[in-house]
Amino acid sequence: MEHFSKSQINSMDKIFRLNLINSCTGYKSANLIGTLSDEDILNLAVFSSITHLGSNPALLGFIVRPTIVPRDSYKNILSNKFFTVNHIHVDDIEDAHHTSARYPSKISEFDMTKFESEYLNEFPAPFVKSSKIKLGCKYLNKYEIKENDTLLMVAEINDIYFENEYLNEDGWLQLDKAKSVAINGLDGYALPSLIDRYKYAKPKK
């Protein structure tokens, strides 16, 4: 088995270390965050850090990297409070990844990709029309992570949209039916498939 020590990690080439550390923690969620600026410009950006924080109330969180450079999604969320989270479908990987390109704030990623925006039930932020599972969220708070100058953004889930065939009787959404992809590292996209489900685990007698 190969082994890298802390000193070896710290002395690695920047890109090699970036790829290694981003991939060693496992698969991450792959989502597009949709926002609207004060100038009514639509913004769309891929995020791999969105995670469940709690179910009652329904909360999610995600990480914003240091804001020493422009972060349009972050700015729009602070300004307008509402945003959407859209699962990336297997057919949309290339355009989803392209939303990570650094366009000026006045240019919408919707205009630079094949993605179409849609507004659902008067929610004040754009959804991705082709996404099979999408969430309407409201920003609640942010927390500074001092160790690397990032921010943990916390939001409530107000709306959930999905095709009925993905929903099991116990409320579980079967993501492989929706062909939602995951991210390995920064730029590797994978299509997970269900192996099995297990009952709530209890101590063995």
pLDDT for res 44: 97
> For 84-130, how does the pLDDT look when each residue is reduced to its tens digit (9 = 90+)?
999 999 999 999 999 999 999 999 999 999 999 999 999 999 999 99
Do the Cβ atoms of 129 and 116 come closer than 8 Å? Answer: yes
Considering the chain, what percentage of its residues have pLDDT values greater than 90? 93
Q: How far apart are CA 160 and CA 131, in angstroms?
A: 12
Domain tally, the chain:
1
SS3 32: strand
Q: How long is the chain?
A: 205
Domain hosting residue 65, numbered range:
27-190
Query: Do the domain assignments include residue 12?
Result: no
pLDDT for res 204: 86
Q: Residue 205 pLDDT more than 80?
A: no
CATH number for 96: 2.30.110.10
Query: Do the domain assignments include residue 62?
Result: yes
Query: Do the domain assignments include residue 87?
Result: yes
Point out which residues pair with 51 in neighbouring strands.
61
Query: Do the domain assignments include residue 202?
Result: no
> For 17-51, how does the pLDDT look when each residue is reduced to its tens digit (9 = 90+)?
999 999 999 999 999 999 999 999 999 999 999 99
Q: How far apart are CA 115 and CA 106, in angstroms?
A: 17
